[in-house]
Chains A and B, each alone.
Chain A
Amino acid sequence: MSEITKTQVAVIGGGPGGYAAAFMAADLGFEVTLIDPAENPGGVCLYRGCIPSKALLHLAKLINEARESHKWGVTFGEPEIDINKIRSWKDSVVSQLTSGLGSLSTQRKINHIRARAQFKDAHHLELKDLNNEKQVIRFDYSILATGSRPTTIPKLFIDSKRVMNSTQALNLEDIPESLLIIGGGYIGLEMGTVYAALGSKVSVVEMLPNLLTAADRDLVRILQKNLDKRFERIMLNTKVSSMKEVKNGIKIQFEGAEDQIFSKVLYSIGRTPNSEALGLENTKIKPNRQGFIPVDAHNRTVEPTIFAIGDVAGEPMLAHKASAEGRIAAEVIAGHKAAFEPAAIPAVVFTDPEIAWAGLTEQEAKDQKLAVEIMRFPWAASGRALTMDRPDGLTKLIIHKETQRILGVGIVGSGAGEMIAEGVLAIEMAANANDLKLSIHPHPTLSETLMESAEMVFGQSTHVYRPKRNR
């Protein structure tokens, strides 16, 4: 075995959590080693998740709008889809971003080692590189950022080119005639939106009575109305009991619906944290039953030298939560008194319309029996929404009854994902309805819906007549 290299901070995993942590640690003056098998940082988010899916969703939106524009007097012909070109365009976006990260990493003098790592103890890692060559490095601190992967159920899912997970679906091998999406969560609905726009007949099966279970029903309802039009079928309260490869596709047996054959199947039933094969048994760290690594408010594990961030450290499994945690972990290592204590972690579903929310949901407020006021501003009353012919939207505030503090924001509508950031800021700053109401919002924009829903608290919304009821 070669000589032991030393590093101050070893970051395992180069996703949005890992590289944010590594960059922050380097910016704080540490000598950092980033361990990831890929050529450049990026992780699932850039290579197999957020970024490629958003590139494809952009195309889906373009296709859908072109299809609908005849209503406004502009008619395009049927689009010609060149799937190879789409794929290479998507890949070029990914490679532009990841190589950018690569040079940012080099500029910060981060030592990027292309390998997989296993703990030998709370100060040593054994790295196995792409040629299976091993080396040991000693670290003062380590940040585990190994992320997650699509959950599978080996006994149900069969090994077939026609059965895909989200990674394979993003590879866009072909445009199947029919596609069944198992799981009505955000990944399934986003991929379904892409494939439907490209021409597949998309069906969704969900065991629960609702799509997007964590989001408020009034937001989902508006999305679902649109999906009903674009998708072939949405089967709720329905279970998949078996799948079998037949000549033209995959035969699915449902519980509560008749058998059906689909050209392809995409399973998107959730993600599993990558906490195995990391040599954790050589440390005191024990993943919990769900596979998450328990951490404290500083993202420190039970081993004082080891931190865990991102998907592997718990819900919600979102890139922006991972980055925020990564930066906290680096700061804590630098001795700063930092803790991960957000008031709101926004969630965005990039369907069409988009759904986004932050802070408390209406359902959570109800469950916790909190005294809140709910303000809903329908986009039909928004000038901007009508100029885009997108009245299918709703902006909602969840407000503390007594202090009028903004506790939660929920938006469904075109561009909701961009708008939610203002909601996050309002919640983090402990803004109250009056603050939002008195901040002048540009006209005509969708952001006015936030201001107007705050005006509704006082019965003074300009574009909705709803006088204040006597309390």
Chain B
Amino acid sequence: MITEIKIPDLGENVVGGRVVSLTVKIGDLIEIDQPLFELETDKAVIEVPSPVKGKITDIKIADGDEVSVGMVTMIVEEDSSAEEKSEPQQEAEKVLPPVAIEEPDQDNSEPISELPEETNTLPVIAKRNPADIAPAAPSVRRFAREIGISIDSVPGSGPAGRISKEDVKRYSKQLNARRGSEASGSAAIFSETLPDFEKFGSIERKRFSKLRETAAKHLSYAWATIPHVTQFDQADITNLEKLRKQYSPLVAQAGGKLTVTAILIKVIEKALKKFPSFNTSIDMNSFEIIYKNYFNIGVAVDTEHGLVVPVVKDVNQKDISQLAIELTQISEKSRQRKLSLDDMQGGNFTISNLGGIGGTGFTPVVNSPEVAILGVSRSQIQPVYLDGTFVPRLIMPLSLSYDHRIIDGAAAARFLRWVCEALEEPFLLSI
């Protein structure tokens, strides 16, 4: 039996990806669940396993191919003992009429085995049924293709729905207007033409990874649509650090690493409860604020493949120790590129901790459609004037970028101050 292996359903909003590391070749015998290739989607690298056992008779993809859900990637002959006879044709070509000659009979006992059944004696006409082609002149179809409009979706104003060039233009304008309102003004951004860098020296062009491509588009969108303001503050975490060290072994026993980030997740959860406008998204089409009654916190993780933001779900139902364990697991998964799409969806607020690397402060970009992001820089011992004298204290610099459309400066200052105080007096968290 012949089975077509298709790109499986990849979850919400994911329509396709790029094939990376194809591990099988034509003729391979494969088992059920044996990985066939990896698919780099917008959000994660997914291993595509074989749903069947059999022999691969055809592979229709190659590394680097862009594929979409439902596309046939390879053909497997389930009964591996079968011969080549049922090898499928690569293309949906017409079955051609056989020729006027067949095997010779007894006179010539040798059968003509290589009788080319594909020969034909006729011109075979159009591959496509004209009834399936949008009713538009070739010049109009070409015009639509050039401006990136699918002619099939253009409503035609002519007799029997014939599509004119004007129809295509009108449809394109409508589409732009719709997109423009979605992007609320980002349509005004033009891309500049790149200079010919080779004039200045040798260069190498390398294609974006799918991850980088998605991040680039997403961040451009966030930067262009969200009026960013960044608020800075610093927290004295001398006491917190003592507590952290004290309880670290306990958490380590449970399999987690008690990090400042794990603690921050708890602090932010409490802060979101205290300042509900930070736990929102905004709908610019309807000018509505969407308040969320759940608490999912994204954590930016630096991996060798790029930045990913796994989301720790329902943090309000977890204590710091559980959060530490989960964070350890999820970071590990990120580095091994094993995050599922579900692991990366549904965040309300993001924490980006660069303290491990260094820096005194930075302005993170809000991870749209969230409305705020916390940046953490390197903690340092600093002299602090306390009770008439300078004492060494461990100071952690924090920055809060927020969407000024929904959050005012005063609210942001209060939010960040509250976070600092919670870090300075962890007792606050339990009140």
Contacts and interface: CB of A to CB of B under 8 A. Distances in A.
A354 B122 CA distance: 14
Interface in B337-387: none
B93 A315 contact: yes
A156 B112 contact: yes
Contact of A403 (B97, B134, B141, B161): B161
Nearest to B113: A155
Interface string B112-134: 10111011111111111111011
Contacts of A188: 121
A410 to B, nearest CB: 10
Interface residues of A, number: 79
B129 A360 contact: yes
A360 B131 contact: yes
Nearest to B117: A290
A364 to B, nearest CB: 7
B101 A182 contact: yes
Given A317-B123, A341-B141, A360 B100 contact: no
B218 interface: no
A336 B146 contact: yes
Interface in B129-166: 129-131, 133-138, 141-142, 145-146, 148, 159-163
Nearest to B133: A343
B90 interface: yes
Contacts of B127: 315
B202 interface: no
Given A153-B115, A270-B96, A357 B105 contact: no
Interface string A308-342: 00000011111000000000000000001111011
Contact of A338 (B94, B99, B137, B142): B142
B100 A183 contact: yes
A393 interface: no
A434 B97 CA distance: 36
Contact of A294 (B91, B104, B137, B142): B91
B106 to A, nearest CB: 9
Nearest to B115: A153
- Interface class of chain A by DSSP: loop
B83 interface: no
A344 B94 CA distance: 15
A404 B243 CA distance: 82
A432 B159 contact: yes
Contacts of A156: 101, 104, 112
A387 B90 CA distance: 51
B213 interface: no
B87 interface: yes
A403 B160 contact: yes
B91 A186 contact: no
Interface string B60-77: 001000000000000000
B131 A400 contact: yes
Given A208-B100, A269-B101, A343 B130 contact: yes
Contact of A344 (B62, B126, B160): B126
B119 A342 contact: no
Contacts of A154: 114
B126 A339 contact: no
Given A253-B107, A344-B130, A430-B136, A318 B122 contact: no
Contact of A345 (B126, B129, B138): B126
A186 B94 CA distance: 17
Q: Which of B134, B141, B148 has the most CB of A within 10 A?
A: B141
B191 interface: no
Contact of B123 (A284, A318, A400, A427): A318
B89 A284 contact: no
Nearest to A336: B146
Interface string A136-173: 00000000000000010111100000000000000000
Interface in A201-255: 205-208, 212-215, 238-242, 253, 255
Contacts of A427: 130
Q: Which of B103, B120, B138, B163 has the most CB of A within 10 A?
A: B120
A182 B98 CA distance: 12
B33 interface: no
A198 interface: no
B145 A186 contact: no
A206 B100 contact: yes
B198 interface: no
A17 interface: no
A271 B91 CA distance: 18
A359 B103 CA distance: 35
Contacts of A428: 137-138
Contact of A358 (B124, B125, B148): B125
Q: Which of B87, B98, B100, B131 has the most CB of A within 10 A?
A: B100
Contact of B100 (A205, A214, A341): A205
B151 to A, nearest CB: 9
Given A156-B104, A400-B131, A405-B135, A289 B89 contact: yes
A187 interface: yes
B98 A407 contact: no
B110 interface: yes
B87 A289 contact: yes
A227 to B, nearest CB: 15
Given A182-B100, A212-B122, A214-B122, A405 B145 contact: no
Q: Which of B103, B115, B118, B130 has the most CB of A within 10 A?
A: B130
Interface string A374-410: 0000000000000000000000000010011101100
Interface of B: 62, 87, 89-91, 93-94, 96-105, 107-108, 110, 112, 114-116, 118-131, 133-138, 141-142, 145-146, 148, 159-163
25 contacts: A155-B110, A155-B112, A155-B114, A156-B101, A183-B99, A183-B121, A184-B121, A213-B122, A239-B100, A239-B101, A239-B102, A241-B103, A255-B102, A269-B100, A269-B101, A290-B118, A294-B91, A315-B94, A316-B124, A336-B146, A337-B145, A339-B145, A342-B128, A342-B138, A430-B134
Given A239-B102, A240-B101, A428-B137, 14 more contacts: A184-B100, A188-B121, A213-B120, A214-B122, A241-B108, A253-B107, A255-B102, A270-B119, A292-B90, A292-B91, A314-B93, A318-B123, A407-B131, A430-B160
Interface of A: 151, 153-156, 182-188, 205-208, 212-215, 238-242, 253, 255, 268-272, 284, 288-292, 294, 302, 314-318, 336-339, 341-349, 357-361, 364, 368, 370, 400, 403-405, 407-408, 427-430, 432, 434-435
Closest 5 CB pairs of A and B: A185-B121, A270-B119, A430-B135, A290-B118, A403-B160
